[in-house]
A = this chain, B = another copy of it.
Amino acid sequence: MTAGRPRRAAAALVAGAMAIGLASVSDLGAKPVTVADLLAESPAADWRVPNPEDTLYLELPHGRVVIELASHVVPQHAANIKALARAHYFDGLAIIRVQDNYVVQWDDESHRRPLPPSVRPSVEFTADANAAVRFEALPDHDLYAKEVGFLDGFPAGRDPSTHTVWLAHCYGMVGAGRDDPAESTGAEMYAVIGNAPRQLDRNVALVGRVLKGMELLSTLPRGSGEMGFYVAAEPPVPISSVRVASDVPEAERTPIQVLRTDSATFRSVLDQRRERREPWFKHNPGAIDLCNVPLPVRAVPSASR
């Protein structure tokens, strides 16, 4: 707390940063490797470009939210959501609920819009049996799942006794809201904007995650109604459109790359985050929670555009 300390040093708290986007870690001692170092040195092959056919653009008045659909985990929901987007179902709807430390939700509150005929309600709380071989297990413990890891790049849990795999409710994950009975279509959607509500795992179909623009959702005014619904005096946030990226002219797409969870760089990032060797850390956590694992995203480097 010296008066003359440099501004960057004053920000040292960030050494533990867990941004959903690009992990930005200040290099405090120049010796221990940081996530920023690892990403800077990563080979191009450790990054993947999300399939535009599985990428949604949620266009809000204040910017674009890029969502990657987990199409191989929830094929029916992904097909539904793409059909809904292509039928312009979401265009002109609004974000109707923002509950602090929980979720942002959008849907057709009036229930006036017809669903395209191909849209079928389904229950995809867990992945199908073929997903088990794609699951990349982590050695880390978890309170809500016997095993955790990644499935197609998304945080996931697994029960080895039943070979069941499911996506996990981490910050930035996107799901299909539902009533009771349990089935859903994807016409009602939500994004997690708070501490991971893992009690929802296996209770709702998670359909993907926000790759970019999370702050456009997380900063929305909280609704003052019950459960964060906007009341009459609080105008809902309009949705300009939801589009499948492959339907958007290439020049208007958001160039983006995601670090592959099966890459050596990702394993190094995890190692760095479990054992904190930066001098700022006086106590080494020696552990990491699934939902604290950074999932780096970056703009496509200009050379490869």
Interfacial residues, chain A to chain B (CB-CB below 8 A): 1-5, 7, 9-14, 16-21, 24, 26, 28, 97, 99-103, 105, 107, 109, 111-112, 115, 121, 125, 140-144, 170-172, 175, 177-180, 182-185, 187-188, 190, 194-204, 214-215, 218-222, 226-229, 273, 276, 279-283, 285, 287-289, 291-292
Contacts and interface: CB of A to CB of B under 8 A. Distances in A.
Given A9-B180, A141-B141, 4 more contacts: A1-B178, A14-B103, A195-B292, A202-B282
A18 B190 contact: no
A1 B184 contact: yes
B100 A21 contact: yes
Contacts of A125: 282-283
B194 A18 contact: yes
11 contacts: A7-B109, A11-B97, A16-B203, A24-B226, A125-B283, A194-B195, A195-B291, A198-B285, A199-B276, A203-B281, A219-B219
A197 B10 contact: no
Contacts of A228: 14, 19
Nearest to A185: B1
Contacts of A285: 144, 198-199, 201
Contacts of A280: 180, 203
Contacts of A101: 18-20, 171-172, 214, 218
A119 B202 CA distance: 50
B1 A202 contact: no
A178 B13 contact: yes
A202 B202 CA distance: 33
Nearest first, the 5 closest Cβ-Cβ pairs linking A and B are A202-B283, A14-B227, A199-B285, A215-B222, A3-B111
Given A195-B196, A202-B282, A283-B125, A226 B109 contact: no
B199 A273 contact: yes
A194 B171 contact: yes
B215 A179 contact: no
Given A188-B10, A199-B16, A180 B283 contact: no
Contacts of A19: 99-102, 228
Contacts of A203: 16, 280-283
Contacts of A7: 109, 229
Contacts of A99: 14, 17, 19
Contacts of A140: 143
B177 A13 contact: yes
Contacts of A229: 7, 11
B100 A218 contact: yes
